Structure 1
Amino acid sequence: MLTTLTRLLKKWRASRDGGHQLDALLAIANKSAPYADRSEWLIELAHWIRRGREVQQSNNEATTEQATEQAATPATPRSNPAHTRIRYLLHVLDRNPTWKANVAGILRALLRESDGLSLLCDAGMPVHSGFFGALFERLEASLIPPAPNRRDLTAIVTLMFSADHDAEWIAALPTDLLIRIRALFDYEPDEAETQNTAPFSLDLLAALHNLTCQISSTGLSQIVRSRIGEVDASDTRETSDVRIAMEKQPFYRLTRAMLAVEAAHQSVAAGEPQDKLLHEVNYLRLLLDECRSATDKVFAHLYRNGVSVDIVFQVERMRMRIVRAEHLLNAWMAQDDPHAGARLTAELVNANHASQSVAHLVRSNFSLLARKVVEYSADTGEHYIARDRAEYLKMLRMAAGGGLVTVVTVCVKFAITGVHLQAMLEGLLAGINYAASFLLMHFLHFSLATKQPAMTAPTLARELDGTGTPAGVDSFVSSVMALMRTQAAAVLGNVLLVFPVCFGVQLLWHALFNANIISPEKAHATLHSFSLIGPTPFYAALTGVLLWSSSLIAGWADNWFVLHRVGDALAYNRRLRLTLGAAGAARLAQACRSNVAGVVGNITLGLMLGLVPAILTAFAFTFEVRHVTLSAGSIGVALGVLGKDALKLPELWWAVAGVGSMAILNVAVSFALAFYMAVRSRDLRRNAVRSLRGAIWQRVFQRPQELFWPTKTAPDSK
């Protein structure tokens, strides 16, 4: 059955007038009600404060007092509805002592009967030790909100302050309101409350002790300890040296420093001077700052030696605890400052709100992995930007070689489709064909034009770091011009070779065997499928997504190889050393390190180009790969089958236009996705990138020839 307070709350929710709603709500406040009823009452009071409408006061006396207070405190932001409502609430309570006593009793009981450590220590901190555990935890919390009968301050805060802007208006509370709120908590306590209620400062101290223990435990764990810094083997002559080095770590001394602070606090409570307490607190602050610096070393180690999402999660959670401990320490030392409590409350509300966000968890823990993956692509992409004439001609040769390999790929593709196998098996064989061709290009150092944008975009994003100076802007613009010029050369090198060679192969095949590679019907169907009028642009854009995905997987593979130190395992493998010798094993390890990302990226790209269309067509929607180089070769074969009469067919020229759209969309989509990820991994603002567009257009209008041919001298070359 519903309690009396719950029934009254239902009637209160039906009211529309803000002032009457507050009167009705304060009238049913009962500090002796059950815990769940009091929690529900506080939640409704918080919702009334957050509602955002100005209170229509029906009392001239209240209006006069509010105007007087605002005149006395001109810094009070009248535009904040939450502040106005709190001011009106406090005025109504001052005029009704009975209501004020009940509200004060409910607030004190909330702090006394609820678990405050859960809010002070755990709000915003993931409970699970791994990334995916925390992910499912947040998904579950978003589906099942906490119940108000939980004796947990985190649950009450979650239900009371659920909006994004709550932390802002709490932190901006003016001084006069903070003083009156503190006075409300101390209004007419019962004798039993005075005897049984511990000061909130003790909760802060207990929470600080809890956090320092957790920080110390994580900092001394193997995943952090092994990455803070390695002891120089030349200086380590005894085992005890390693132990001494560990004892110098701030995590090892943190718990002792916290115990010293607690002992000094007890001495102050016994009447001793505060000098010792201030000394111990300053030492604790120093250790927390050193712990923060140590976490930076861990992230630097991860960046150099491979990134694991779970390790990033653990270290990021430790960093959050360090920041929380600093906030608690500041609030504990500034108990007489009302703004310190407001800042702490706002930080807890903001952290608790962030702890419910799945997007925040993913963004905060994948940023370093994204940066590592992007940096691999940036290092690789530098080789695909021709900054002078020699590099430009080299790129043309590499693209021509890639087009020559693609001729074989196109012929094998037609042979596979001519067998008319089951769709999934045909997709698998096509994927193997593509993967073999891409691997051959990789080891022959040839180039496939559409693979380059996903590699070169991170290179440009890395150069954004230096755009704060005119020289940096000029260097970035020069790189953009070189990139567009190189992409055009790569596409032309692929297409201008694959088209005529495929055409010649068809003619040669017909001359030798009196047969065609494909039937005339298949040739017509091929031209029709590439037409610009139809789904070709959409398919080309999706193909660009696959091209970008392969570069992402290649970066992940490179990170995995480095993270697990596979190169060292190969170089020091006993059997490899016995078989190849120490130098041979080292060369094998280096070769694997140099090619693992390329091999994985090319294999996955080939398999995706073959299998993804079959899978999507079977389970979602019709999809076919539209790759500019492969399609240009297919048109060459089809033209050889149909002969010169095909030049009069509109479908041929619509297919040529479709290949042009493929060239644009394959490159543009893969480049845009890679560039967006690179910018996000470097935490660059969108307006900073947008400001460079004018400089790029200015260079295009001033020196348009750079889009097609590099200048004779390359002052911006690197």
Structure 2
Amino acid sequence: MAELKDILHKINALSDTPEPYVLKRLIDTLRVSETEYKDNPACINEQIRALNELLRKHPEYANGLAIFVLTLLNKYHRMSLFTDTGILSDQTFSNSLMRLIGHRFVPLLPEDDSIVELVAYLFDGKHDERWLASIDSRLWDELVDLVMVDDAHSDLVATAKNNILNAMVILSYRVSGIGLHPDLMKAYPQMLDYSAAFVAQNQEAVLFANEYREAHQLDNYKDVTPRQQIDPAPLLVMLEQCDNIVSTVRKRIYKTGISIRLTNMLLRLEQSLKRMRILSELLADNHKNRDRAIIELAQAIIVSVKRRYSIGYLINNNTKLLSRKITENSGRVGEHYISTDKSGYKKMFKMAAVGGFIIAFMATIKILSYDLDLAPMSRAFVNSMIYGLGFVFIHIIHGTVATKQPAMTAAAIASTISDSSGKKSHQLAKLSELMVDIIRTQFIAIMGNVLIAMPLALIISFVWLQVSGEPMIGGDKAEHLLHDLDPFHSLAIFHAAIAGVFLFMSGLIAGYYDNLALFNNIGERISRHKLLLKFLPKHSVERLGVFVENNLGAIMGNFLFGVFLGSTATVGFIFGMPLDIRHIAFASANFSHGMFNIPADDFGFGLVIISLLGVVLIGITNLLVSFSLAMIVALRSKGVKVVEWKTLSKLMYTHLFTQPRDFFLPRPEPMKYAKIDSQGYMIHEDTNKTQKNKLFPKHFAVRRLSSVRIMPEGVSIDAKRLEEAAQKNEFQQKLDHSGDQPPTIDKKVVVLDDAEFELVSAESLGEVTEVMTPIGEVTEVMTPIGETEDIDPAAPEKQDKTKNAKTPLPKPKNPPKLPE
């Protein structure tokens, strides 16, 4: 406490001539090391609590600290701190990676006048991110409330607010640029209908900046309190509209596909919109929102500064971007891997049985191919073709291979996290139930493969012996097949884990090629292929195009999965590494061949048990590895933290001990998930079926909106009750204005989240009350650009309404002032 008081006293004395080392000394004193935190977790809040007590007892220290910080910040360029730090860069991954690798050999020159370097100097602890994130949020709120600036130093506040306003305008122009980017327009032509929102938010941002600067006299380096606060509601409404457009685009990704570049653009657009909202809250009169915005912005800046030279963070961020791309596309694979009811359960077993039937013959052909004298690369090619073409054939005849985890599973998991209502605990509970359904579906898929492949392989060996009079394979080969299944004396589990990785990769590949087919319109391009049209009828070419577009992901995923399995052993042989694969379906077929052809002297009950145990462990390893990787991709794309895995694991264990039946047999009543039906199909809805209009009517201008009270999502509105309330309000106004012309009720249209509402405003006693009612169609509210409407002079009400409807967006008196 004494040390803190001494530092605060020195900060107060040097508030007008600040030095960074003094502030760094304060932060070092508050910092709690990783060792101290592990030994005593409660100590992490003690220093912050002591600081708050000192500032409460000595208000001059709080004022001096605020002046010290603002004066120190004025010595640095602050604009990039608001506009760039914490927002995804538009540089490519390769350029960023080469830049950071070069930094390891020849360090980049620090920008001494950049505030980013100041933040890096102040927070130089290795575990500062974890330390700051662990502090109680109530202590942060209390600290922000205590640190205030007196009126004598209002010029510091005015300078800070000017920088915030300029940053908002810069971000607004960037949002407009991304929203109207040619690549986005080309990928999503419907964006042309929505472009008015991106223009309108820019005009609102410029207007808000100029009005706020003028009302608070910031140009005179003052921060006076105006008689009427400048309301940011019009700007926030337009930012909400832009957010809704981004959400609409994401909903349509499954139809149009998306590239990494466009994923990057959409993410930067979301981050820029969020930063604009945070900056507007810094200027708002709501102290609670302002304090939270300060904390959120400060934490985002500190985290970004700490990671700006981290190669690991760059890779982590870009893989998260890639996983977002994968999970946002449904991976329109013909196979479905999530069954929630009995019919889906039976259907999956039938598909797996078909797959098991083909796999028995594939395993037999692969064993017989070893009689061919082939070079290593030829061996890899033959094995790859056996696996790859066999898997593709299984897909074409509507079979399935056990333990496969395609992009469909990742998309389903991600949709449960993002679309479930309620708190995070509720979302994790839903996710655990979904995982139970996935595990049960994989269990029955494994059973379908094994229960068919194992006896069929036994029958093949028996028929071969009866027809040829000789065993299909020799005793040494049979012993080798069984040895490869031994979990104790071979690398069967390790090889099964390798196969699990390939299973997961095949799902990513399927999602990639599905996305590629959609984004590049492969189906339509094939249907118009001139060479094909010369040799095939038009309807056949069209059917081929539809088939390729719908199945390209599944075909490529299955084929390349086969290539991975077939070439792994050869790659291991070339590099002298013990690499190979084990898949449960092929392991079960090999078990039957080995047991039937092994010499009678070597046959034993113990050998049977160990081999069967190996088959079971291989299947469990396949499933755990592939499923865990798919989970990581899905949860990373939605920002689920690692610490939440403990909660998820606890929910899974509890379900296993209380209701183990659900892991193997269908539930009595199927669960309902976001975007997943009872057959495991993803449900995609662009808009509500009752809506007849788009987000913005085509070729219509958008007027500047007045203050709008946005109804919370999910709140139903009784149109009849609102109409009665409006009539009653109108009647009351007639009584209050007896003898005068009664005031009319203005009706405007506000479009929120792909839904249209009628805004009814009734002025009463100088106050404005606004409600929203759903409407069917937009009429006489927005007038097309370039069109005029004849106005009847005898109808003053209609004339006023038409005039208001055609009022353009107000233009700012002066352009925003940017720093010199």
Query: Which residue identity lines up with residue 406 of structure 1 in the other structure?
Result: M
* SS of residue in 1 equivalent to 2:261: helix
| Mean CA deviation greater in 470-479 or 678-687 | 470-479
Distance 1:521 1:394, change over 3 A: closer
Q: Contact conserved, 1:39 with 1:148, CA < 8 A, in 2?
A: no
Distance 1:28 1:433, change over 3 A: farther
CA drift of 1:586 comes to: 1.2
Aligned to 1:238: none
Aligned to 1:402: 358
Q: Find out whether 1:278 has 2:233 as its counterpart.
A: no
CA distance in 2, matches of 1:202, 1:145: 34
Counterparts of residues 279-298 of structure 1 (less than 5 Å): 281-298=232-249
Distance 1:667 1:88, change over 3 A: closer
Structure 2 unmatched runs, 5+:
35-42, 308-312, 680-820
CA distance in 1, matches of 2:298, 2:588: 58
CA distance in 2, matches of 1:603, 1:277: 64
CA distance in 1, matches of 2:170, 2:351: 60
CA drift of 1:23 comes to: 8.7
Identity of aligned residues (%): 18
Counterparts of residues 130-209 of structure 1 (less than 5 Å): 130=92, 133=95, 150-161=112-123, 163-164=128-129, 165-166=131-132, 172=138, 178=144, 181-183=147-149, 199-209=159-169
Aligned to 1:502: 461
Cα deviations across residues 328-366 of structure 1 (Å, max 9, x unaligned)? 1222243xx776664343222222244324476247524
CA drift of 1:440 comes to: 3.1
* SS of residue in 1 equivalent to 2:88: coil
Cα deviations across residues 636-661 of structure 1 (Å, max 9, x unaligned)? 44455544334249656644442343
Aligned to 1:554: 510
CA drift of 1:137 comes to: 6.6
Aligned to 1:431: 384
CA distance in 2, matches of 1:204, 1:393: 61
Distance 1:44 1:340, change over 3 A: farther
CA distance in 2, matches of 1:399, 1:363: 33
Aligned to 1:421: 375
Aligned to 1:487: 446
CA distance in 2, matches of 1:574, 1:174: 67
Q: Contact conserved, 2:391 with 2:562, CA < 8 A, in 1?
A: yes
CA distance in 1, matches of 2:481, 2:359: 19
The partner residue of 1:219 within 166, 174, 179 is 179
CA drift of 1:600 comes to: 0.8
| Mean CA deviation greater in 662-671 or 389-398 | 389-398
Q: Contact conserved, 1:402 with 1:447, CA < 8 A, in 2?
A: no
Q: Contact conserved, 1:431 with 1:608, CA < 8 A, in 2?
A: yes
CA distance in 2, matches of 1:340, 1:119: 20
Counterparts of residues 310-709 of structure 1 (less than 5 Å): 310-334=261-285, 342-355=291-304, 356=307, 357-358=313-314, 361-362=317-318, 365-372=321-328, 376=332, 380-381=336-337, 387=343, 391=347, 394-395=350-351, 397-416=353-372, 419=373, 421-422=375-376, 424-451=377-404, 481=440, 484-505=443-464, 508-511=467-470, 518-534=473-489, 535-616=491-572, 618-619=574-575, 621-639=577-595, 641-648=597-604, 654-675=610-631, 677-678=633-634, 686=645, 687=647, 690-691=650-651, 694=654, 698-700=658-660, 707=665
Counterparts of residues 230-269 of structure 1 (less than 5 Å): 230=190, 245=193, 249-265=196-212, 267-268=214-215, 269=217
Query: Which residue identity lines up with residue 315 of structure 1 in the other structure?
Result: L
Distance 1:498 1:449, change over 3 A: farther
Query: Which residue identity lines up with residue 483 of structure 2 in the other structure?
Result: H
Query: Which residue identity lines up with residue 50 of structure 1 in the other structure?
Result: R
Structure 1 unmatched runs, 5+:
1-15, 54-76, 232-241
Distance 1:213 1:674, change over 3 A: closer
The partner residue of 2:47 within 59, 63, 81 is 81
Q: Contact conserved, 2:432 with 2:651, CA < 8 A, in 1?
A: no
Cα deviations across residues 247-271 of structure 1 (Å, max 9, x unaligned)? x621122333233234434653499
Cα deviations across residues 517-546 of structure 1 (Å, max 9, x unaligned)? 555434433333332322222222322222
Q: Contact conserved, 2:260 with 2:325, CA < 8 A, in 1?
A: yes
Q: Contact conserved, 2:355 with 2:401, CA < 8 A, in 1?
A: yes
Query: Which residue identity lines up with residue 82 of structure 1 in the other structure?
Result: I
CA drift of 1:221 comes to: 0.6
Bigger helix share: 1
Cα deviations across residues 55-81 of structure 1 (Å, max 9, x unaligned)? xxxxxxxxxxxxxxxxxxxxxx99541
CA drift of 1:202 comes to: 1.3
Query: Which residue identity lines up with residue 234 of structure 2 in the other structure?
Result: Y
CA drift of 1:178 comes to: 4.8
CA distance in 2, matches of 1:471, 1:23: 49
CA distance in 2, matches of 1:452, 1:262: 51
| Mean CA deviation greater in 669-678 or 85-94 | 85-94
Q: Contact conserved, 1:387 with 1:482, CA < 8 A, in 2?
A: no
Cα deviations across residues 158-186 of structure 1 (Å, max 9, x unaligned)? 33246224377596457886576434896
CA drift of 1:662 comes to: 2.4
Cα deviations across residues 573-625 of structure 1 (Å, max 9, x unaligned)? 34434443432221110121233122211221111112233334554841222
> TM-score when scaled to structure 1?
0.73
Matched length: 639
Cα deviations across residues 274-307 of structure 1 (Å, max 9, x unaligned)? 689836x432222222112122122223243223
Aligned to 1:117: 79
CA drift of 1:558 comes to: 1.2
CA distance in 2, matches of 1:329, 1:472: 35
| Mean CA deviation greater in 581-590 or 319-328 | 581-590
Cα deviations across residues 90-147 of structure 1 (Å, max 9, x unaligned)? 989969x9xx98x888645422221111112222123334455556677888999998
What's the C-alpha RMSD, in Å, of the aligned pairs? 5.0
Distance 1:293 1:401, change over 3 A: same
Q: Contact conserved, 1:227 with 1:297, CA < 8 A, in 2?
A: no
* SS of residue in 2 equivalent to 1:278: coil
> TM-score when scaled to structure 2?
0.65
Distance 1:608 1:386, change over 3 A: farther
Q: Contact conserved, 1:553 with 1:600, CA < 8 A, in 2?
A: yes
Q: Find out whether 1:49 has 2:5 as its counterpart.
A: no
